[in-house]
């Protein structure tokens, strides 16, 4: 079973990926992780990527392509994979298809986590972190007992810089602009399963699981 999972920032992609990986024997493939690993191990591609990162530039598509093609040449991937955080654009989707075709593989299902922007805004702008113990709160859905203070250790809660409304709106509009064509690309192949991503973690995972059970 080869899966892709797609979802806006804050839609719960990370949490759902973890749950899928816990319940199904799939290899987790994340371009971000692979990139960091290649840089850490100073592989030839990693060194090239590092030059761009040092200059604060985006790592070019060819380098991402090489990293993915390299990852798919390892045989553990034959057990099936969950691809997370990629493709982000239609070009990348086409590129991924050609890499997979060369390996005699294909995507079986694309899970698209659907959630209203309004709810995402509440999830993200309401998020508060405890810098001391790492506990996460949400002023709308999971507030601390005392405003601005961690229930567990009493430290002053903080808001991550990226979690403000302006930067979220930019991220969301970028996301929709790039991802809509990706979804349409896979819809034309009848691979997309839309999952309502509002509600509790178990509820949302239950929806995903019933789709995956139908695939196995
Ligand atoms: Zn704390």
Q: Measured between alpha carbons, how far is 124 from 113 in angstroms, rounded to an integer? A: 16
For the cut 80, the answer to whether the pLDDT of residue 72 exceeds it is yes
Q: Which residue has the tokens 């590129």?
A: 95
Q: Measured between alpha carbons, how far is 16 from 188 in angstroms, rounded to an integer? A: 25
Categorize the per-residue pLDDT at 195 as very low, low, confident or very high, splitting at 50, 70 and 90. very high
Q: Is 153 a domain residue?
A: no
Q: Is 177 a domain residue?
A: yes
CATH number at residue 84: 3.40.50.300
As a whole number, mean pLDDT of residues 18-34 equals 92
As a whole number, mean pLDDT of residues 102-114 equals 94
Locate 109 and state its tokens: 């299902």
Residues with catalytic annotation? 13, 88, 127, 160, 171
Could you list which residues have their CB under 5 Å from ion ligand 1?
Answer: 130, 132-133, 135, 150, 152-153, 155
As a whole number, mean pLDDT of residues 44-59 equals 89
Q: Which residue has the tokens 């993915």?
A: 68
* Closest to 20 (Cα-Cα) out of 93, 106, 105, 108: 108
Categorize the per-residue pLDDT at 141 as very low, low, confident or very high, splitting at 50, 70 and 90. confident
List phi, psi (to 5°) of 63.
-70, -45
Q: Is 133 a domain residue?
A: no
Q: Is 206 a domain residue?
A: yes
Neighbours of 5 (CB within 10 A): 22
Neighbours of 190 (CB within 10 A): 7
In the chain, the number of structural domains is 1
For the cut 80, the answer to whether the pLDDT of residue 216 exceeds it is no
For the cut 80, the answer to whether the pLDDT of residue 183 exceeds it is yes
For the cut 90, the answer to whether the pLDDT of residue 181 exceeds it is yes
Q: Is 183 a domain residue?
A: yes
* Closest to 95 (Cα-Cα) out of 142, 119, 63: 63
How far, in Å, from the CA of 122 to the mean position of ligand 1? Answer: 22
* Closest to 45 (Cα-Cα) out of 65, 73, 72: 65
Pairing, β 2-7 against β 27-30: unpaired
Peptide bond into 87 cis (omega under 30): yes
As a whole number, mean pLDDT of residues 130-140 equals 94
Of 123 and 146, which is predicted with more confidence?
Answer: 146
Q: Is 210 a domain residue?
A: yes
- Structural domain boundaries, residue 10: 2-26+80-115+169-215
Q: Is 57 a domain residue?
A: no
How far, in Å, from the CA of 145 to the mean position of ligand 1? Answer: 12
Pairing, β 127-129 against β 192-196: unpaired
How far, in Å, from the CA of 60 to the mean position of ligand 1? Answer: 39
**CA-angle at 81, arms to 104 and 210, nearest 5°:** 115
| % the chain with pLDDT above 90 | 61
Neighbours of 195 (CB within 10 A): 23
Q: Which residue has the tokens 């979802």?
A: 7
Distances (CA, A) of 35 to 45, 61, 81, 86, 169: 9, 12, 17, 12, 27
Q: Is 164 a domain residue?
A: no
For the cut 80, the answer to whether the pLDDT of residue 198 exceeds it is yes
How far, in Å, from the CA of 168 to the mean position of ligand 1? Answer: 25
How far, in Å, from the CA of 134 to the mean position of ligand 1? Answer: 6
């Amino acid at each position: 079973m080869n899966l892709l999972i797609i979802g806006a920032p804050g839609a719960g992609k990370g949490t759902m990926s973890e749950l899928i990986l816990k319940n199904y024997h799939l290899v987790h493939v994340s371009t971000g992780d692979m990139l960091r690993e290649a840089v850490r191990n100073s592989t030839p591609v990693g060194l090239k990527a590092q030059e761009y990162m040092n200059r604060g530039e985006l790592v070019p598509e060819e380098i991402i392509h090489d990293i993915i093609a390299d990852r798919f040449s390892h045989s553990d991937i034959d057990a099936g994979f969950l691809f997370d955080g990629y493709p982000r654009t239609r070009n990348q989707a086409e590129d991924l298809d050609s890499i997979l075709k060369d390996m005699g593989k294909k995507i079986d299902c694309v899970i698209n986590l659907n959630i209203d922007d309004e709810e995402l805004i509440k999830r993200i702008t309401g998020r508060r972190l405890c810098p001391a113990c790492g506990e996460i709160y949400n002023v709308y859905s999971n507030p601390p007992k005392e405003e601005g203070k961690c229930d567990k250790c009493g430290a002053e809660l903080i808001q991550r810089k990226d979690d403000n409304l302006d930067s979220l709106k930019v991220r969301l509009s970028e996301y929709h602009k790039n991802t809509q064509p990706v979804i349409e690309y896979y819809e034309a192949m009848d691979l997309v399963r839309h999952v309502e991503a509002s509600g509790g973690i178990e509820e949302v995972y239950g929806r995903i699981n019933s789709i995956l059970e139908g695939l196995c």
